[in-house]
Structure 1
Amino acid sequence: MSLLRVTPYRNLSTLNHIIKNIFTTHNVPKNKNYGTASSVVKSTYEDISIPNQSVTSLVLSQKDHRAESPAVTCGVSGRSYTFGMTRMLIERGAAALIGQVGLKPGDRIGLILPNIPEYVIAIHSAMSAGLTVTFANPLYTEEEITRQFQSVGVKSIVTIPLLLETALQISKKLPNYTQTINIGGEPDPGKNVLSMQALLMDNDEVDLPKVNPTDIAVLPYSSGTTGPPKGVMLTHQNLVANIVQCSHHDFNDLPAFEGPQKTVFTVLPFFHIYGFNTIMNISLYRGEHLITIPRFTPEDYLSCLIKYKPDTLFVVPSLLLFLASHPEITADHLSSVKRVLSGAAPATKNLIDKFTEKLNRDDCVINQGYGMTETSPVTMLTPFRIEQSKAGSCGRLLPSTSARLVDQTNGQDITVPYKSGELLIKGPQLMKGYFNNPKATDETIDEEGWLHTGDVAYYDDAEYFFIVDRTKELIKVKGNQVSPTELESIILEMPGVVDVAVIGIPDTLAGELPRAFVVKQPNADLTEESISNYLKPKVVAYKNLAGGVIFINAIPRNAAGKIMRQELKVFGK
């Protein structure tokens, strides 16, 4: 079992380039106009039949076809697991979580991990044991992760040696905590730390519970429209539905397990729903070889392109720009790539054209999708053979998915192509709701089951959708969602701050950067530097006030007390 040894990272800074959160979401007041038959856009594809099984049983249902083929590999260390070995370790892991760790079905377990092959084993072991998994960005501060884990009642944490001390400090603040599981490290009975390797070495005789498809599988965190991040309840059924939806033949060149095994390369994080379900789970379900790296550096990325010659790349627009513009990435390095899938934010036609120019060939398919944490995550995807005229589209509705567009000025449904409005979505991939937050759930999903995305979109006469704007207040920094309310609540704790509002300002490289407008008490000794330094240790780096701090006399608010952020955006120019 030496493959379970994880090469330790030298320090936390080595994780600084992990490409982070992908999708953003939005809560809006409920629209009581529930639409008519003429206003509902239905998928052009036939409805799917959702298998009545857990996500793990679906993902590994065809593992015998490629039992000896590689399933997941670390592109840096070369550590790898076959499909047969992956299935065996998941079964052992599930038994160990019940028998040795003492967890029970329905308990919550937290993962603080970068992208490593053992992520697959850890998360699917937990779900096979009937546990609910919540995963955190390993770059988050101790305070941020503690808030998330306290919110859902985490009873055990899985991590690596580099992040063990952080996990142990967090565990002290969690009631009814059991034990910490260390991947690639030694056990420490004195600190209640178990070794993942030791757990998997034991072949426990434990009866695994029957997992109901309606059980909550994962609790990823999303900020929604405003306010602090909330736990998104995604059931096994939600995840299974989305895997089957995305596997429709129109979105793939071949059915699962047919033809030579394909190699998929990604650095997008498994600790977010895009990396977890769209990349990890679908790659395994289709029998593909998944290559991942725990951190992004141009050197490691280039090395993997050369060594593994991937057929498929998963990217976000900023990574696509890197590939298109970095002088050391040549057409030869990308010669094996036949498909690129982009998410997080719209990749413009200009960006796609720039990447295609770098390829210097026309046999690579570039697809885009649209989704959010609350939709497991995909709701739209461009067909595998997309027409050039549709470049820039986020695609057509997945099978069993419907949409509506609502005019922002009058609240009426839009019934014609090419007219933009707020996008509403309905389908089997929609979340069960926000964990212990019915108010936020009701503000996001209306009484007829329509999820209000807060994104402004239009569709063309072939029902290809295009995202054109956002009504949401979330700030999007390189694809990562930043809640203004979260930053405001922290800054308000600072002595001398009377009021504060945070907005996103445009930035060529990052998309947006957080900027704070602060009202200070008379004679308060506050500076831009002191406020920025107060926030820095409390949040992950991309939430820092890179857009600066501006002191003003009053925050503009409407009669209801809501911050008028549009006025601040004009003020800040």
Structure 2
Amino acid sequence: MIFPAEDKILRGPDCNTPLPDGLARYVFDKLHQHGDKVAVVPSWLEVCRPVQVYPQRGGLQHTYRQLRRLSATVAAQLGRLGVRPGDVLAVATDGGPQHTPLFIGSLLTGVIFAPFNPSFDDDETRHVLGFLRPRVLIAEKSKPLYERLTTLVVSYDEVDAWFSGSSVEDADPEVEEAPALDSPAVILCSSGTTGYPKGVEVSHRALLQLLAVATDQRMLMWLEGSFMLPTPAFWISVTMMLLISINAGKKVLLMGKFDEQLFLRVLREHQVLSTLMSPYAGVRLGKMSPQPNLEPLRAIMFVGSPIDRSTLLELQTKFRLRAVQVYGMTEVLMTLSDTRNNPAPLGSVGRPQPTVEIKVVDTQTGEALGPGKEGELCFRGPMVTRGYYNDPAATAAAIDADGWFHTGDVGYYDGSGLFYVTDRIKDFIKYKGEHVPSAHLEATLLKHPAVLEAAVVGIPNPETTELPRAYVVVKPGVDVSAEELVSFVSKEVSDHKKLRGGVIFLDKLPRTATGKTFKRILRELATKDVDE
């Protein structure tokens, strides 16, 4: 890592692996490369270890040879539907065996792939389809609204019919000329915790750079067992890990949604050694009673929102594995990370990845800050988004004139260039001129043995600006009072961080599809309580 003090910009190392010529051809050739290892006995039966497994679909499995054939089928069918390079293919799905062929088939035809959350309400769906303007929408489950908002809607049953009629022989479709490097390959929706989702452009350059870094650092190539993704297909982590697993020729299990019992069962069935999940899922695993057996799992990577050091330490101790916070967001891909040979200390999200520039700026002045000073994380580099699809205003608000993407995440780096993420700017609570980090209060509440989930927001107050209020879900069958929790926190934190807004109990916290707490709903609830 290059760490010059004069400009306070931290730079990742060079990447020694050149960019592939084109994303579609590179991925398709990788499927062919790994498919060549398959023994075909007899000619219509493909025999090899599976590379994609779908536990929620009865354990359906795909080999690389099958993925190659199904992706070619998708490319041919999209052409028959009149889809052209640069058009958008929207896919309403949590995941499943259709997802990877649809993704790769889109790349082969130069189409922009746009998976989105099928659980969006009608207003969110109108907004998302409004900026996507898809040529075709493929839906796992039908909705009348899709028909009204899109010219052509294709069901998953029709996609399955494409697959059942495809040839077993390896297809070699004509791959469209590689699109411009900075044009979008994928559009993914932001989590929408503070408003309507935005369409994040993930460019061909960004994904090619991801593959180059993955090759340079041998990501997943060392893994002897399987990797599990218990996350929805519209998360950026799924897009990244699909490409990295194809690059490495490794097996990945795709669950679509986190299910504790299914997760525990397939760990041993498929020798899962590593997984990635939201902090919410990790907290639930840690609080399960009786304590589950996570063998043979060796590592859990947490993504999507901060997870406190004490929770990581608890999980490591309880389950005898490595628990790490991985920093990433749809807009910046995998720009901070530790490495297998140079792991980051507990609580750190690692150092800058190759080709990435990072700085921490004062949230008021924009001045670049030195080590140990907390501010907003800003990123620049080939893996960083070029902006939001059909939304120039949002793009201009997030990316400054010098090309720095402002994340809205608060953190700092130490003298060794290791980064730590502490909160979101919008989640800071303002009390008498002091900034109160909600993540710290949530971590404190989770230390209480009765607390299953916790979220802290500010409630309006004319004298102090805001008061910290906690919304808490308690463990089933456990009794605890609001006063007890307020007192518990007061003993753990400084005076300005005390829960002066009180504690409110809920049956469950509102969450986005990415597992993040929907704090906008909690703020609205808190404001309504004050107004009443």
User: Is the TM value for this pair above 0.5?
Assistant: yes
Say if 1:214 and 1:236, in contact at 8 Å, map to a contact too.
Answer: yes
Query: Quick one: distance in 2 between partners of 1:197 and 1:268?
Result: 26
Matched, 1:432 2:399: no
Aligned to 1:171: 147
Query: CA, structure 1 residues 358+395, in 2 after alignment: closer, same or farther (shift >3 Å)?
Result: same
Which residue of 247, 266, 273 corresponds with 1:311? 273
Query: CA, structure 1 residues 50+181, in 2 after alignment: closer, same or farther (shift >3 Å)?
Result: farther
Name the aligned partner's letter for residue 317 of structure 2: E
Pairwise CA distance, 1:113 = 1.2
Aligned to 2:325: 368
Aligned to 2:8: 39
Query: CA, structure 1 residues 551+435, in 2 after alignment: closer, same or farther (shift >3 Å)?
Result: closer
Aligned to 1:16: none
Query: Quick one: distance in 1 between partners of 2:78 and 2:424?
Result: 42
- Give the secondary-structure state (helix, strand or coil) at the position aligned to 1:144: helix
Aligned to 2:262: 300
1:20-31 alignment to 2 at 5 Å?
none
Query: Quick one: distance in 2 between partners of 1:146 and 1:50?
Result: 41
Query: CA, structure 1 residues 280+507, in 2 after alignment: closer, same or farther (shift >3 Å)?
Result: farther
Which residue of 160, 168, 184 corresponds with 1:196? 160
Aligned to 1:496: none
TM-score normalised to structure 1 length = 0.69
Matched, 1:96 2:50: no
Say if 2:32 and 2:68, in contact at 8 Å, map to a contact too.
Answer: no
Aligned to 2:358: 403
Pairwise CA distance, 1:219 = 1.2
Pairwise CA distance, 1:285 = 1.8
Query: Quick one: distance in 2 between partners of 1:223 and 1:324?
Result: 25
Name the aligned partner's letter for residue 351 of structure 1: T
Pairwise CA distance, 1:267 = 1.0
Query: CA, structure 1 residues 131+65, in 2 after alignment: closer, same or farther (shift >3 Å)?
Result: closer
1:133-148 alignment to 2 at 5 Å?
133-148=113-128
Aligned to 1:463: 417
Query: Quick one: distance in 2 between partners of 1:294 and 1:309?
Result: 19
Pairwise CA distance, 1:325 = 2.5
Query: CA, structure 1 residues 292+549, in 2 after alignment: closer, same or farther (shift >3 Å)?
Result: same
Pairwise CA distance, 1:290 = 0.9
Say if 2:132 and 2:389, in contact at 8 Å, map to a contact too.
Answer: yes
Say if 2:17 and 2:215, in contact at 8 Å, map to a contact too.
Answer: no
Which residue of 405, 408, 411 corresponds with 1:451? 405
Pairwise CA distance, 1:158 = 1.6
Query: Quick one: distance in 1 between partners of 2:164 and 2:428?
Result: 41
Which residue of 326, 337, 357 corresponds with 1:381? 337
Aligned to 2:478: none
Query: Quick one: distance in 2 between partners of 1:247 and 1:287?
Result: 12
Query: Quick one: distance in 2 between partners of 1:300 and 1:460?
Result: 40
Say if 1:230 and 1:435, in contact at 8 Å, map to a contact too.
Answer: yes
Matched, 1:324 2:293: no
Query: CA, structure 1 residues 551+106, in 2 after alignment: closer, same or farther (shift >3 Å)?
Result: closer
- Give the secondary-structure state (helix, strand or coil) at the position aligned to 2:245: helix
Name the aligned partner's letter for residue 329 of structure 2: M
Query: Quick one: distance in 1 between partners of 2:115 and 2:470?
Result: 29
Query: CA, structure 1 residues 86+141, in 2 after alignment: closer, same or farther (shift >3 Å)?
Result: same
User: Any idea what the Cα deviations from partners look like across 1:217-262, whole Å, max 9, x if unmatched?
Assistant: 111122689653221222111122123334542x74x6x3x674x3
Say if 2:277 and 2:300, in contact at 8 Å, map to a contact too.
Answer: yes
Say if 1:50 and 1:240, in contact at 8 Å, map to a contact too.
Answer: no
Aligned to 2:198: 230
Say if 2:77 and 2:162, in contact at 8 Å, map to a contact too.
Answer: no
User: Any idea what the Cα deviations from partners look like across 1:275-300, whole Å, max 9, x if unmatched?
Assistant: 222x2222222211111224333221
1:555-566 alignment to 2 at 5 Å?
none
1:281-300 alignment to 2 at 5 Å?
281-300=243-262
Matched, 1:217 2:198: no
User: How many aligned residue pairs are there?
Assistant: 441
Query: CA, structure 1 residues 368+545, in 2 after alignment: closer, same or farther (shift >3 Å)?
Result: closer
Aligned to 1:394: 349
Pairwise CA distance, 1:159 = 2.2
Name the aligned partner's letter for residue 359 of structure 1: F
Say if 1:226 and 1:473, in contact at 8 Å, map to a contact too.
Answer: no
- Give the secondary-structure state (helix, strand or coil) at the position aligned to 2:272: coil
Name the aligned partner's letter for residue 211 of structure 1: A
Which residue of 57, 72, 76 corresponds with 2:25? 57
Query: CA, structure 1 residues 428+503, in 2 after alignment: closer, same or farther (shift >3 Å)?
Result: farther
- Per mean C-alpha deviation after superposition, the further-off stretch among 126-135 and 218-227 is 218-227
User: Any idea what the Cα deviations from partners look like across 1:57-100, whole Å, max 9, x if unmatched?
Assistant: 3344433453233221111311111011101111121111112x
- Give the secondary-structure state (helix, strand or coil) at the position aligned to 2:412: strand
Pairwise CA distance, 1:403 = 0.9
Name the aligned partner's letter for residue 155 of structure 2: N
Query: Quick one: distance in 2 between partners of 1:223 and 1:319?
Result: 17
Query: Quick one: distance in 1 between partners of 2:199 and 2:472?
Result: 31
Query: Quick one: distance in 2 between partners of 1:396 and 1:370?
Result: 10
Query: CA, structure 1 residues 317+235, in 2 after alignment: closer, same or farther (shift >3 Å)?
Result: same
Query: Quick one: distance in 1 between partners of 2:117 and 2:185?
Result: 18
Say if 1:346 and 1:394, in contact at 8 Å, map to a contact too.
Answer: no
Say if 1:225 and 1:472, in contact at 8 Å, map to a contact too.
Answer: no
- Give the secondary-structure state (helix, strand or coil) at the position aligned to 2:366: coil
Aligned to 1:244: 212
- Give the secondary-structure state (helix, strand or coil) at the position aligned to 2:124: helix
Query: CA, structure 1 residues 63+123, in 2 after alignment: closer, same or farther (shift >3 Å)?
Result: closer
Pairwise CA distance, 1:196 = 3.3
1:478-489 alignment to 2 at 5 Å?
none
Aligned to 2:485: none
User: Any idea what the Cα deviations from partners look like across 1:121-143, whole Å, max 9, x if unmatched?
Assistant: 11211222111121111221233
Say if 2:15 and 2:355, in contact at 8 Å, map to a contact too.
Answer: yes
Query: CA, structure 1 residues 96+551, in 2 after alignment: closer, same or farther (shift >3 Å)?
Result: closer
Aligned to 2:88: 108
Query: Quick one: distance in 2 between partners of 1:123 and 1:326?
Result: 36
Query: Quick one: distance in 2 between partners of 1:371 and 1:131?
Result: 25
CA RMSD of aligned residues (A): 3.5
Q: What percent of counterpart residues are identical? A: 21
Query: Quick one: distance in 2 between partners of 1:198 and 1:223?
Result: 32
Give 5+ residue unaligned stretches, structure 1: 1-34, 186-193, 485-501, 511-535, 553-567
- Give the secondary-structure state (helix, strand or coil) at the position aligned to 2:25: helix
Name the aligned partner's letter for residue 549 of structure 1: L
